Amino acid sequence: MNSSTTRVGTGLLVADVPDMVHFYRDILGLDAEWDGGNFAELRTANGELALFMYSRQEFCRAIGQEYQPPRGINRSFEIGLWLPSYEDVDAEYARLKALGVSLPCGEPVTYDFGIRNFYVADPEGNLLEIGSRR
């Protein structure tokens, strides 16, 4: 593989594709390509397959194994959503808070190394870091 020609996609194995598409498309505002089935692709500035979702049940069938999802907040990974500015981070925090989205770590924080961020938990407990470097 070559870093300059290889694209990376992040996949979420999800229990409820419609609920998760609703959250990422209708609450967060990401463009979604979804036909109502077991797979959804969410488009970002990174292009296609930047983030996709696949039914956990279908994935388990494909690999012939049983899946045991984490309970509560998934602390094994996070998805970073990077906005243009600190002001955008603050505005998104206020918007999501007003919608009642789970904000497990509270208000945005600016760190000494220059990142301002906050965390959101999606309906299945996956953490999203929403931040900016300026």
3-state secondary structure (DSSP) of residue 17:
helix
Domains of the chain in start order, with CATH, are: 1-69 (3.30.720.120), 72-134 (3.10.180.10)
pLDDT tens digits for 85-130? 999 999 999 999 999 999 999 999 999 999 999 999 999 999 999 9
Global confidence as pTM: 0.87
Q: Please state, in angstroms and rounded to a whole number, the distance separating the CA atoms of residues 54 and 64.
A: 15
Query: Quick one: which of 124, 91, 121, 127 has its CA closest to 108?
Result: 91
Question: What's the CA gap between 121 and 73, in Å, rounded?
Answer: 7
Q: For residues 26-50, give the mean pLDDT.
A: 89
Confidence of residue 21 (pLDDT cuts 50, 70, 90): very high
Three-class SS state of 22: helix
